[in-house]
């Protein structure tokens, strides 16, 4: 007789909701409407709505192909491509790649750096490392934050709390609420997740004076800053301006430790190549621990993915070690950032021309790829159903999805929706 069929060992497994961004993108792709607009996924698009492989990346790819290195498909080290990791560190912390002053040489001893699987992998590796070796009670995430931050820290097994960040009434940064929560509820050893620039999803960043106050609070309360840097150079067109907060903490708070998750997806247009780095910064009294931190990071990497992928990191290394290519890359960054800025202004101007109820200055005051529009979930749903304009339920839009061809249509859709849907 055949044996009885046993239930799966996963019989009690419940499904989890699909990632909203990817589900939204799927819905957009299958929408048969002739006029539709995707403002959901955070990738750069040209004014024609097409992907834009950076010209400097294409040039680097051709040079690499012509070189035909026999080692291009070989394993790298566990810590990744060493030369790439050095360039990533130099870019993040502002070190000169050609000369090394005695001060910079000492400063580099504070940093343990490794290659990761993009910014997501850097965030995950950092969370896992801190959970394992620092054992924090809590991680503080901004409310709102990039949705994947929550998933990453839940997977790492660290409890989370949120600090106020967005003031819905004024559509501005709730700096006082943020500082009050961290001041009154933050405990020594808690991690504070900070967006280095172009906050996702609100597009709202602290001013330099506010960053200084955040650094002072973290130092005094012994909170551990964890920077997520996903848009260096993409947000403003300047790698220096977009790294200002990280560099200020590093240079002006030498007694405080921190870490940085670094992504090259946006600023090099290497979304699918998964290029990233993680940097752990020791305080000035603990540089002797650099090798211990480095080796423990490598141990986690070895157990998870062995080493980072070499394709994208080789492109980044090629660009950042060639003066001409680096200069061209800076020009490409300005091209992307300026288009984003111009689309912010175009949407704002059109909403103003239409006399759309409410205030819309926040669209041009925000920074980077995303804007928190202030639209309600009901309005977002109506925009999708009536006008086939797709955005997240929170009202967050990717400015890159706007173009000269559709910005008038989107503004008119928003205007009609705001007037008729609460």
- 8 A C-beta contact, residue 260 and residue 397: no
Q: Say if CB 178 and CB 142 are below 8 A apart.
A: yes
Of 138, 143, 169, 170, which is closest to residue 154 (Cα–Cα)? 138
d(CA 108, CA 112): 8
The residues, any chain, with a CB within 8 Å of residue 237's CB and separated by 6 or more, are 330, 333, 334, 336, 337, 338
Torsion of CA 332, 333, 337, 339, to 10 degrees: 0
CA–CA separation, 225 and 283 (whole Å): 13
CA distance 240 to 393: 33
Q: What angle do CA 383, 388, 389 make, to 5 degrees?
A: 60
Q: How far is CA 366 from the centre of its chain?
A: 15
Please name the residues in contact with 110: beta carbons below 8 A apart, sequence gap of 6 or more: 250, 254, 281, 282, 283, 284, 286, 287, 290
Longest alpha-carbon distance in the chain: 80
* Cα separations in angstroms, 92 against 180, 241, 259, 328: 29, 11, 11, 19
DSSP, residue by residue, 209-221: HHHHHHHHHHHHH
Q: What distance in Å separates the CA atoms of residue 398 and residue 57, rounded to the nearest whole number?
A: 23
Give catalytic residues, as residue numbers. 146, 228, 266
In 3D space, the residue among 276, 234, 336, 271 whose CA is nearest the CA of residue 21 turns out to be 271
């Amino acid at each position: 007789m055949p044996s009885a069929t046993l239930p799966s060992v996963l019989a009690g497994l419940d499904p989890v909701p699909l990632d909203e961004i990817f589900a939204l993108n799927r819905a957009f792709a299958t929408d048969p409407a002739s006029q539709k607009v995707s403002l959901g996924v955070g990738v750069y698009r040209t004014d024609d709505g097409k992907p834009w492989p950076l010209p400097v990346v294409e040039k680097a790819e051709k040079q690499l192909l012509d070189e035909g290195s026999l080692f291009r498909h070989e394993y790298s080290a566990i810590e990744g491509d060493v030369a790439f990791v050095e360039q990533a560190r130099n870019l993040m912390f502002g070190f000169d790649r050609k000369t090394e002053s005695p001060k910079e040489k000492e400063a580099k001893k504070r940093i343990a750096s490794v290659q990761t699987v993009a910014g997501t992998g850097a965030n995950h590796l950092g969370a896992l490392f801190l959970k394992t070796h620092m054992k924090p009670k809590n991680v503080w995430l901004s409310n709102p934050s990039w949705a994947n931050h929550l998933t990453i820290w839940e997977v790492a097994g660290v409890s989370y709390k949120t600090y106020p960040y967005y003031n819905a009434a004024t559509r501005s940064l709730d700096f006082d609420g943020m500082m009050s929560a961290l001041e009154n509820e933050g405990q020594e050893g808690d991690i504070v997740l900070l967006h280095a620039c172009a906050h996702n999803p609100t597009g709202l960043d602290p001013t330099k004076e506010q960053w200084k106050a955040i650094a002072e609070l973290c130092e005094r309360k012994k909170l551990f800053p964890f920077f997520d840097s996903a848009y260096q150079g993409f947000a403003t067109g300047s790698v220096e301006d977009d790294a200002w907060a990280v560099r200020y903490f590093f240079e002006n708070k030498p007694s405080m430790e921190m870490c940085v998750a670094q992504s090259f997806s946006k600023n090099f247009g290497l979304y699918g190549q998964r290029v990233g780095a993680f940097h752990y910064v020791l305080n000035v009294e603990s540089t002797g621990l650099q090798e211990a931190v480095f080796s423990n990071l490598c141990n986690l990497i070895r157990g998870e993915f062995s080493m980072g992928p070499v394709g994208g990191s080789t492109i980044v290394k090629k660009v950042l070690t060639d003066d001409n290519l680096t200069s061209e890359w800076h020009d490409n960054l300005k091209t992307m950032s300026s288009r984003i800025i111009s689309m912010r202004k175009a949407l704002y101007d059109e909403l103003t021309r239409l006399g759309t109820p409410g205030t819309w200055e926040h669209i041009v005051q925000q920074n980077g790829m995303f804007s928190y529009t202030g639209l309600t979930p009901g309005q977002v749903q109506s925009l999708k159903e009536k006008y086939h304009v797709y955005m997240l339920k929170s009202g967050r839009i990717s400015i890159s999805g706007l173009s000269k061809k559709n910005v008038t249509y989107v503004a008119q859709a928003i205007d009609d929706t705001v007037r008729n849907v609460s």
